[in-house]
Amino acid sequence: MSDETYYLTTPIYYVNATPHLGHAYTTILADTMARFQRLRLGPEQVYFLTGTDEHGDKVAQAAAKAGESPQAYADRISGVFKETWKRLGLTPDQFIRTTTDHHKRTVQRFLQQIYDSGDIYFGEYGGHYCFGCERFYTEKELQDGKCPDHRTAPTFIKEENYFFRMGKYQDWLIDHINGHPDFIRPERYKNEVLSFLRDPLEDLCISRPRARLEWGIPIPFDEQFVTYVWFDALINYISALGWPEGEEFRRFWPAAQHLIAKDILKPHAIYWPIMLKAAGIEPYRHLNVHGYWKIEEAKMSKSLGKVVRPLDLADAYGRDAFRYFLLREMTFGLDASFSEEALVARLNADLANDLGNLYSRVLKLIERFYGGNITGWTYSGTFSDATRDALTEITAAMKRFAFSEALGAIWNLVSATNKYLVTNEPWKQDPGDPRTKAVLFTAAETLRRIAVLLMPFLPETAERMMRGLGIDAPPTSIRLEEGLSLGLLDRSLERQIREVPALFPRVESATPRSSKNRKTTAAPSEVSPDEITIEEFRRLDLRVAEVVEAEAVPGSKKLVRLRVRLTGEERTIVAGLREQYPPETWPGKQVILVANLKPTTLMGIQSQGMVLAAEDEEGKIVLLTPEQRIPPGSQVR
Ligand code: MSP
């Protein structure tokens, strides 16, 4: 077993907003890379970290606006991040939060250590402070006197603070970057950092007076101050591993691969390596920087009011289709434009057409010709080299975080298999001819190998493809090379194609499915406890249903069992309205149904939804019905 380890991190996201497409993108990239490395090195050799950044002005302000304490607010939003990653099927090994005692103690220990070694001093500073970015800007960095990110005028602040002697390490950092040419990659970002380092590096103000900001980690050597949010946040990458004594720190540091977008290049490329150096810790291995998703050519950010909710897209198109689009569409390091139309186009062309059609065509022919039996067939080996070459290409591309290229290598294989079928036309041949069998089996085995290669990228699809081919997904301990060679051709085993639904149904509609959910107008920056967002409301599936029959539930005075009709389906509903509406009054009535309520069992009868009624102060109950008759199944909006 290799003793190489791989430690992969995402930024820890601020809890002043709920997750949007940008956060999902970085975390999905990291998940894909973590899955890939687990299949390359073994699961125990890989550690994938994400989490939330919970201190600072921004969070304190968002909490105040929501009428909550900062901690309660951070707990809630951090929970939304965690839940979102779970629902997207992501697999971090740890979700770190900066408000845990462990993290706070680690930050204090780190600060004390560099204070003791003389790299922190007390002084006065005046500068242009952007509350959005939580940092001071130099005159040169401002654009037309405004913060380049938030486009708001900064506030001039003068105060006494603690400073970190960054300037002292400038030459060391330049040498380190030059000596390790891919320390920061892609190259454009390395060049950006080196060009920034041509000017003398100012010392970094690392504290905020507690009188101005309470919500932070107290500086251990002066309780009147809290630590600057970036000092707190960056240290998460080692506190998560239990620095300095932790077993995981020993195993995974410095094999660290940080993954970020270009917005936070400077803290990661300059502050962080210098902080590590000052504390006597080896620098991380690589900083991997991706570009920005833009919507309608504007940078997508909450403050500019253009937000795309990742879960809406994953719900509308499927997790793997969403994942595929993000991985394929953006060239690592460059910006890309997001549009739902582009997502649908890729889904239809690459997933439904190229891969999905190939898969169902091969399986259907095997079903038709041989009753789905694929035991003991031979494999012509036509694609053995091609699948191995694809793995070599994928491995090389993944080393550079070139996800789109890696998928390109898999899709070349998909195209080659499609071409092979078109050339051999097995559908026109005699099923009894062994060559027909060999062609179809070769295609089936190549599809199995494609599924193996897809495991890190489209995990659910890979599993479905294998299941359809009559095999279970390989154990998580398998390596990709093994997966390629352990074929269907274990001749002694009974193999039967299983019936599978289309991998990716085409999306016909010209109107994107999640457009009703998409926010292109100002998005709420936080959710107040008494309000729900429009997305939350839209999760309710309210429908008109027509009652077909009704009967009293034996043993209950209140309950009535209804049989209702929606479009093309009937359901049983148990309603507690028998006293107001006896069974004979129901048939033919149209009611409003909460159609996606989790089914529940009442008096032994499963109720598949809830009928809406209004109740006045005296307890009088009236049923809600549409004002005119409308086809059953119609949506209530
Ligand atoms: N809390 C800091 C990071 C501390 S890391 C020690 C922070 N948080 S953030 O919530 O603003 O997240 C920034 C990160 O979110 C980006 O670096 C990127 O990973 C992701 N993205 C946010 N918007 C994005 C796009 N529009 N496009 C691509 N990724 C984006 O900064």
Q: Report pLDDT for 529.
A: 45
Beta strands in 276-425 (DSSP E): 286-290, 293-295, 298-299, 336-337
DSSP state for residue 581 in the 8-state scheme? S
Nearest-angstrom CA–CA distance, 372 and 364? 8
Choice from 20, 26, 403 to test ligand 1 binding pocket (greatest atom count within 8 A of CB): 26
Nearest-angstrom CA–CA distance, 435 and 619? 77
10 Å Cβ neighbour count for 239?
A: 23
- How many A from CA of 231 to the centre of ligand 1? 16
What would the pLDDT profile of 101-156 be if each residue is shown by its tens digit?
999 999 999 999 999 999 999 999 888 988 888 778 888 889 999 998 889 999 99
Minimal-distance CA residue to ligand 1 atom 30: 22
Nearest-angstrom CA–CA distance, 252 and 461? 31
DSSP state for residue 448 in the 8-state scheme? H
Mean predicted confidence (pLDDT) in 59-64: 93
Q: Report pLDDT for 370.
A: 92
Nearest-angstrom CA–CA distance, 178 and 323? 35
Query: Is the Cβ atom of 26 under 6 angstroms away from ligand 1?
Result: yes
Q: Report pLDDT for 347.
A: 96
Is the pLDDT at 521 greater than 60, yes or no? no
Gap between the terminal Cα atoms of the chain: 57
More reliable by pLDDT, 307 or 435: 435
Is the pLDDT at 304 greater than 90, yes or no? no
What would the pLDDT profile of 165-181 be if each residue is shown by its tens digit?
999 999 999 999 999 99
Question: What is the residue-averaged pLDDT of the chain?
Answer: 89
Nearest-angstrom CA–CA distance, 385 and 629? 64
- How many A from CA of 364 to the centre of ligand 1? 45
> Which percentage of the chain shows pLDDT scores above 70?
92
- The pTM of this model reads 0.79
The number of angstroms, rounded, from the C-alpha of 313 to the middle of its chain's C-alpha atoms is 11
Query: Is the Cβ atom of 234 under 6 angstroms away from ligand 1?
Result: yes
What would the pLDDT profile of 340-355 be if each residue is shown by its tens digit?
899 999 999 999 999 9
- How many A from CA of 263 to the centre of ligand 1? 7
Mean predicted confidence (pLDDT) in 28-34: 98
Q: Report pLDDT for 488.
A: 61
Nearest-angstrom CA–CA distance, 182 and 287? 8
- How many A from CA of 242 to the centre of ligand 1? 24
Q: Report pLDDT for 307.
A: 63
What would the pLDDT profile of 474-501 be if each residue is shown by its tens digit?
888 889 998 888 776 565 667 788 877 7
Mean predicted confidence (pLDDT) in 497-507: 85
Q: Report pLDDT for 306.
A: 54
Query: Is the Cβ atom of 23 under 6 angstroms away from ligand 1?
Result: yes
10 Å Cβ neighbour count for 494?
A: 9
Q: Which of 47-51, 207-211, 491-495, 573-577 has the highest mean pLDDT?
A: 47-51
Nearest-angstrom CA–CA distance, 438 and 378? 6
What would the pLDDT profile of 547-567 be if each residue is shown by its tens digit?
989 999 888 888 899 998 887
Is the pLDDT at 608 greater than 80, yes or no? yes
Beta strands in 76-210 (DSSP E): 94-97, 120-130, 135-137, 155-164, 184-185, 204-205, 207-209
Q: Report pLDDT for 429.
A: 95
Choice from 9, 15, 23, 133 to test ligand 1 binding pocket (greatest atom count within 8 A of CB): 23
What would the pLDDT profile of 423-436 be if each residue is shown by its tens digit?
999 999 999 999 99
Is the pLDDT at 388 greater than 70, yes or no? yes
- How many A from CA of 260 to the centre of ligand 1? 7
Query: Is the Cβ atom of 456 under 6 angstroms away from ligand 1?
Result: no
pLDDT-based confidence at residue 527 (cuts at 50, 70, 90): very low
Q: Report pLDDT for 520.
A: 32
What would the pLDDT profile of 245-290 be if each residue is shown by its tens digit?
999 999 999 999 999 999 999 999 999 999 999 999 999 999 999 9
Query: Is the Cβ atom of 11 under 6 angstroms away from ligand 1?
Result: yes
Nearest-angstrom CA–CA distance, 236 and 272? 11
In terms of C-beta density within 10 A (0-12 exposed, 13-18 middle, 19 or more buried), how is residue 417 classed?
A: buried
Q: Which atom of ligand 1 is nearest to the CA of 16?
A: 10
Mapped to the 3 state alphabet, what secondary structure does 331-370 carry? CCCCCEECCHHHHHHHHHHHHHHHHHHHHHHHHHHHHHHH
Is the pLDDT at 569 greater than 90, yes or no? no
Tokens of 60: 């304190």
Helices (H) and strands (E) counted in the chain, each on its own, are: 21, 25
DSSP three-state, residue 330 = coil
How distant, in Å, are the alpha carbons of 1, 110, 293, 382, 486 from that of 107?
Answer: 35, 5, 32, 57, 48
Name the strand (E) or helix (H) holding 192. helix 187-196
Q: In degrees rounded to 5, what are phi and psi of residue 336?
A: -145, 155
Tokens of 304: 């500019």
List the catalytic residues: 20, 23, 130, 133, 147, 150, 299, 302
Of the candidates 218, 26, 233, the residue with the CA atom closest to the CA atom of residue 135: 233
Q: Which of left, alpha, beta for 161 (phi over 0: left; psi -120 to 50: alpha)? A: beta
Q: Report pLDDT for 540.
A: 82
